Structure 1
């Protein structure tokens, strides 16, 4: 069909598929033929003799081509091959489902978190379909398992989802995140991810034309280290915590593309009267990298230790090591304690742990109502980040679909995502930023139009927001073993 010069819309109408699916097929053809443009692909097809009958779409389309003239001549003498009848115009057929493609860790690294993501996704879709879907069209999820530490797995998952012609792509955090960006950009499919990555934010900012349909649904990681230092300063200066050292430590796992803002944190620490040391986790020697790194971090007394990893396994190992060493350092994690398995695995040792997240589920009326519905549906209490984030992401996509005149118009969908802030259970999503990452309060100052970095503390087995502007639900407590 490309040889006859049709648009994506014409191909979609004649074959009874969506423009998005047509674009995906064309992208795959170009990749397989090694051609940079659709015109080059058509030229290659002619040169290699790839055109054959029966011809797809309307036969009249090929009237000026030699193969079209041969088919017409054969029809006159009764030897023409049978040509399939065109499918009815889309307006005469029932509307097909809208498909949300999701690359999520159902097994392997991060699978505890993956279950949260899948449940949040399913709950949102069920609620949308229960109210009539999107403009009369049901929504369906197409979930592909992904090993978040493997670039090959990321590539396989995205190729499978795009090959199925999904209408939108979603994912959590991926080590090979740039692969997802590139594949989504080539396919032209809107893509909403939760990489929490300053590197990915810069990737979109530096090439807005190529990545205009890609959105990061949370603020980036670059505030984690500076906020750790400033939070410790506020505790020290305002009480009731009285640190036994003027030194802070960070134990950091090397994770592709992560930037915790360490250099800026060093400057903040120096200005606030702290010594700041960063200890990398080396995973050689029997897999006890975290225990050895934590031991090195507190060999010289430290007031607090930031655990620089997003994974539950890492955070559990680090907190356990601090207790085994009987360290007086306050444990401060990032994100991982949002997953319920963190508390389940640590038991009493989780008590008093402080942790921060760029995207957390609020404890306001909206957040509590979501938690009740989630618990009723799945029989477990949701975590405090990705369950709500996955739920919000689908609701935001559905809102964009409902507002755009053409659901297949990826540019129109992207324009709506940029233009309209959306208040979900994890706060307000405002993508009107150079890198199309959700706006953080520290960048804007208004929590009604952005998301604050929330700081929680586990108190009596429950998650208490101790920093987060108007969303705070309690005050910091000195852990019993440090009092």
Structure 2
């Protein structure tokens, strides 16, 4: 209903971070061809676009699919190992939530592990159901499996903060613990407090710590004091600037002309380089899809260090090296 009211109200573009109802939102936008930029991080959204390129021609995903969380995470592990990190063993324990998004990520991770030619081995796969009332049984299963790497495939920041607080009281000693992108949301640090120290997390789109990214971070935090999110702040900012750039030369009322201009643009924002000249109307990811860092969006891996998010990968974008967590 919200999307329908906006389209009927005559908006000249739609933009947001993500929608939990991607197909209905895309169908509403396609009804009159209004340019629609979203951050659904969804293979299903890209598949829908490919199923009818004419219908969905003016719909663009501003980041890659969630499948790259899996491939990118395993690549990160291998790169860290090559750089000198020694895992206590090569097994990866996946704790997975049950929604489609997390299931896709889990399957992509499992596939990447299987494709690693034995460098990494699949450990247990443990199911959780939102909301998680008690993390104790999960933490016990992690200790029993004793894998070198633990992946918590869940995206709700408040629940990941609750996990962190419980985990540090009875950790699996020596394991690298990765929390899927939820810590990017401000409430993770706010709620987890000191318990957040040492946890690793990633996002296929996030605010860089280069000159452009740091200038944005500084300006944002001056205007909005407190804990800053590392994803939606920058991706939202970039999305609006992509539209503004296109509207400089194209009539905003000419939806197809705007769509063609977005398709052709190469825009370097605070979250990397946006290009949409693909069959999915979505960017490419570095380093999984390309070796050219400036042509893509970096899949950023962060670690909480001294109470702050620090980029530790890829090497071309890092602020800090991986640091041993308190339980490692």
Asked which structure has the greater RCO (Cα within 8 Å, sep 6+), the reply is 2
Identify if the C-alpha distance between structure 1 residues 318 and 265 changes in structure 2 by more than 3 Å, giving closer, same or farther: farther
Structure 2 Cα separation of the partners of residues 473 and 361 of structure 1: 12
Aligned pair count reads 323
**1:338 paired residue among 184, 188, 194:** 184
Q: Which residues of 2 match residues 387-402 of structure 1 at below 5 A?
A: 387-402=233-248
Counterpart-to-counterpart distance in 2, 1:324 and 1:311: 21
The answer to whether the Cα contact below 8 Å between 1:254 and 1:280 also exists between their aligned partners in 2 is yes
Instruction: Give the distance between the partners of 2:205 and 2:211, measured in 1 at CA.
Output: 17
TM-score norm. by structure 2 comes to 0.91
Match of 1:196 among 33, 37, 41: 41
Normalised to the residue count of structure 1, the TM-score between the two structures is 0.63
SS for the counterpart of 1:444 is coil
- Give the strand-richer structure, 1 or 2: 2
Q: CA deviation at 1:248?
A: 0.8
Alignment of 1:163-312 (within 5 A): 163-240=8-85, 242-257=86-101, 259-260=104-105, 261-269=108-116, 271-283=118-130, 287-288=132-133, 290-312=135-157
CA 1:236–1:376: 2 relative to 1, 3 Å: closer
**In 2, Cα distance between the equivalents of 1:238 and 1:374?**
33
Residues 8-407 of structure 1 mapped to structure 2, 5 A cutoff: 156-240=1-85, 242-257=86-101, 259-260=104-105, 261-269=108-116, 271-283=118-130, 287-288=132-133, 290-328=135-173, 329-404=175-250, 406-407=251-252
Partner of 1:473: 319
Q: Which residue of 2 aligns with 1:136?
A: none
Cα distance, 1:452–1:316 mapped onto 2, change above 3 Å: same
Cα displacement (A) at 1:481 = 2.3
Q: 1:403 aligns to what SS in structure 2?
A: coil
Q: Classify the secondary structure of the residue corresponding to 2:256.
A: helix
Name the Cα RMSD after superposition.
Answer: 2.1
Whole-angstrom distance in 1 between the partners of 2:116 and 2:138: 21
Distance in 2 (CA, whole Å) between partners of 1:275 and 1:444 is: 26
1:155-197 CA-partner distances (Å, limit 9, x unpaired): x221222232211111222222111111111132111011111
Unpaired stretches in structure 1, ≥5 consecutive residues: 1-155
Question: Residue 251 of structure 1 contacts residue 294 of structure 1 at CA under 8 Å; is this kept in 2?
Answer: no
Instruction: Please give the alpha-carbon distance, in whole angstroms, between the structure 2 residues aligned to 1:342 and 1:360.
Output: 16
SS at match of 2:177: strand
Structure with the larger helix share: 1
